């Protein structure tokens, strides 16, 4: 009876990419939980509207919204600080701030775009909230992957982001007009109409 030679695991490669794996998984988690909670805040007691405009929120809800925004950026900063080796940005505090601002800001933009697409495509509120809490981290993670060290990952993330945007635009009629309408609704003053 012959025995197979034991295959050795290349732990050096696993350890080398551990910060990147932690950064991408953490970004997905933060980008799903915090914006998902923002979605819940904006969609409860919405009446006939797809979501409540900012001026219809109570003082406590506005405070909660601001705290969630601060939490998002602080959590991304802490994650970026812990995993700075995963990014091709310099190993400096300013680079971590830049990373958190890019991932947080552009991630929120991508998340809002996805939310507008699901609203315009008439997804149910339950489906939208499930997507917000499970897949809401995708735009944030794609941005983090574009800033990660391996160039192949940068290219793959950019291609996936382009495919996601084009898919979203293809799902609705008049996409630019629709997006502008949702932005107007979000910032609309409380009126009788």
pLDDT, tens only, 6-50: 555 554 554 456 788 899 999 999 999 999 999 999 888 877 888
Give the pLDDT confidence of 44-78 residue by residue, as tens digits.
Answer: 887 788 888 888 888 999 999 999 999 999 999 99
Burial 127-150 (b: 16+ CB within 10 A, else e): ebbebbbebbbbbbbbbbbbbbee
pTM: 0.84
Give rounded-to-5 percent helix, strand, coil for the chain.
75, 0, 25
pLDDT at 6: 57
Rounded mean pLDDT, 154-161: 96
pLDDT at 142: 96
Give the pLDDT confidence of 115-127 residue by residue, as tens digits.
Answer: 889 888 888 889 9
Quote the percentage of the chain above a pLDDT of 90.
51
């Amino acid at each position: 009876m012959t025995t197979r030679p034991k295959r050795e695991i290349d732990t050096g490669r696993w350890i080398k990419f551990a910060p990147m794996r932690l950064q991408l998984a953490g970004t997905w988690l933060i980008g799903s939980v915090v914006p998902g909670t923002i979605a819940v805040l904006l969609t409860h007691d919405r009446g006939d509207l797809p979501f409540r405009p900012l001026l219809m929120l109570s003082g406590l809800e506005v405070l909660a919204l601001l705290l969630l925004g601060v939490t998002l950026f602080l959590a991304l900063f802490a994650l970026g600080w812990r995993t700075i080796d995963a990014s091709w940005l310099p190993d400096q505090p300013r680079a971590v701030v830049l990373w958190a601002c890019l991932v947080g800001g552009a991630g929120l933009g991508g998340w809002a775009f996805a939310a507008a697409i699901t609203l315009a495509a008439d997804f149910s509120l339950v489906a939208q909230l499930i997507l917000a809490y499970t897949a809401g981290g995708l735009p944030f993670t794609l941005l983090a992957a574009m800033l990660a060290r391996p160039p192949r990952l940068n290219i793959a993330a950019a291609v996936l982001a382009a495919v996601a945007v084009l898919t979203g635009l293809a799902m609705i009629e008049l996409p630019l007009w629709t997006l502008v309408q949702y932005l107007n609704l979000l910032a609309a003053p409380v009126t009788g109409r």
